[in-house]
Amino acid sequence: MAKETPAYLWLDGKVVAWRDGTIHVASEAVVRGESVFEGVRAYAGDDGKELFIFRNQDHLDRLRQSAKIMRMTLPYSDEELTAAFKALIRANGFRDNVHFRPTVYFGEGESNQFDPSEIDTGMYCLAYRRTRSKAVTEGVKSCTSTWRRNTDVSTPSRIKAAGNYHNSRLAHVEARMNGFSSPLMLNDRGKVSEGPASCFMMIRGNRVITPPVTADILESITRQTIIDLCRDDLGFEVIERDIDRTEVYIADEAFFCGSGAEVTPMLSLDHYPLGAGGVGPITRRVQDHYFDVTAGRVEKYRHWLTPVYGTEG
Ligand SMILES: Cc1ncc(COP(=O)(O)O)c(C=O)c1O
């Protein structure tokens, strides 16, 4: 489905019309995919007026970690970037759920030089209206990808470097061509890693089990959120450990999670139905709580929410 084209984007310090969002084809971001980015959500509150950026500071921190590992330097402060995100969402007049993507890119220059100051580093941000997907409400049938998740010994899987997403795309497209919605990727040790744009959790008995951050996964903000919500609010034991492929086949329930994927139930893997083959009860509880938290209905997590319109109402 083609995305609706927003009226504005943010590029190198300014909100500009969509058609003016251009960078040179000779930039390293275009030639070699040298950029790092974030995928962030802003959720509508129940009053239909306010939008809340979910865990803005955590996304900014991870963007800086991505830039650090890739030896890039962000040209703006956190305050400037937060103001930019708000300005962009406001300019587009979004009042329903939004997904936005701040990106740090290398422009023209010799990026193979040691010193990052020798290359122009710019930033842009795209923001789209994004409603809840059918996959989130109904769940997905998944398969084990023949592509292995890129490993930290060659490229840093724990961050959002654009180059990692060739790996994601190959896995995703292959799964779709084979009639599945979303693949599960193993790492080079043959253990479960994650989806192409989401982390993975399975449920066995009353325990929620998820691969550790050393399993070549992205250090996901949603994963950590769900671990905390499960432990602190829902009373489940959460275990971070390696998972075998065949262990998923006998799991009671499983789901993908991410800023984009939210909590997407996995109905089956490689045609093995998980549990009763529908959306499981624990997955539903996790989903419901996650949506309450992101919409600002749970007071103790209001500090995770940054209002976009604020005094503008
Ligand atoms: C490869 C990959 N894994 C996991 C995730 C989930 O990360 P987060 O919860 O921080 O959005 C994402 C992004 O959504 C991703 O691109």
Q: Mind listing the pLDDT tens digit for each residue in 13-63? A: 999 999 999 999 999 999 999 999 999 999 999 988 899 999 999 999 999
Mutating to test ligand 1, I would choose from 259, 290, 304 the residue with most ligand atoms within 8 A of its C-beta, which is 259
Ligand 1 atom showing the smallest separation from residue 62 Cα: 10
Q: Of all protein residues, whose CA lies closest to atom 5 belonging to ligand 1?
A: 198
Give the separation between CA 15 and CA 9, rounded to whole angstroms.
6
Of 3.30.470.10, 3.90.1300.10, 1.10.3720.10, 1.20.950.20, the CATH number of 8-131 is: 3.30.470.10
CA 197 / ligand 1 centre spacing (Å): 5
CA 258 / ligand 1 centre spacing (Å): 5
Is any atom of ligand 1 closer than 6 Å to the C-beta of 220?
yes
Q: Of all protein residues, whose CA lies closest to atom 6 belonging to ligand 1?
A: 258
Q: What is the pLDDT of residue 313?
A: 42
Is any atom of ligand 1 closer than 6 Å to the C-beta of 92?
no
User: Cβ distance 216 to 243 under 8 Å?
Assistant: no
What are the backbone dihedrals phi and psi of residue 221, each rounded to the nearest 5 degrees, phi first? -75, -35
- pLDDT over threshold 50, residue 110: yes
- pLDDT over threshold 80, residue 98: yes
Tally the C-alpha atoms within 13 A of residue 258's C-alpha that lie toward its C-beta. Answer: 19
Contacts of 224 (CB under 8 A, 6+ apart): none
* CA atoms 83, 89, 95, 97: torsion sign: negative
- The interaxial angle of helices 56-69 and 78-92, nearest 10 deg, is 120
The H helix count followed by the E strand count for the chain is: 8, 17
Is any atom of ligand 1 closer than 6 Å to the C-beta of 198?
yes
Tell me how crowded residue 131 is: count the other CB atoms within 10 A of its CB: 9
Mutating to test ligand 1, I would choose from 53, 182, 220, 293 the residue with most ligand atoms within 8 A of its C-beta, which is 220
Ligand 1 atom showing the smallest separation from residue 259 Cα: 11
- Residue 114: pLDDT band (50, 70, 90) is low
User: Cβ distance 178 to 147 under 8 Å?
Assistant: no
Q: Is 19 exposed, middle or buried (0-12, 13-18, 19+ CB in 10 A)?
A: exposed
Provide the residue ranges of all domains of the chain, joining segments of one domain with +. Answer: 8-131, 135-294
- Residue 244: pLDDT band (50, 70, 90) is very high
- Residue 192: pLDDT band (50, 70, 90) is very high
Dump pLDDT digits (tens) for 266-305: 999 999 999 999 999 999 999 999 999 999 999 999 999 9
Type of residue found at 36: V
- Residue 111: pLDDT band (50, 70, 90) is confident
Q: What is the DSSP string of 39-100?
A: -EEEEE-TTSS-EEEETHHHHHHHHHHHHHHTT---SS-HHHHHHHHHHHHHHHT--S-EEE
User: Cβ distance 61 to 71 under 8 Å?
Assistant: no
Dump pLDDT digits (tens) for 130-162: 999 999 999 999 999 999 999 999 999 999 999
Q: Of all protein residues, whose CA lies closest to atom 7 belonging to ligand 1?
A: 220
DSSP H or E stretch at residue 199: strand 199-204
Q: Kindly indicate whether the domain formed by 135-294 is annotated with CATH number 1.10.630.10.
A: no
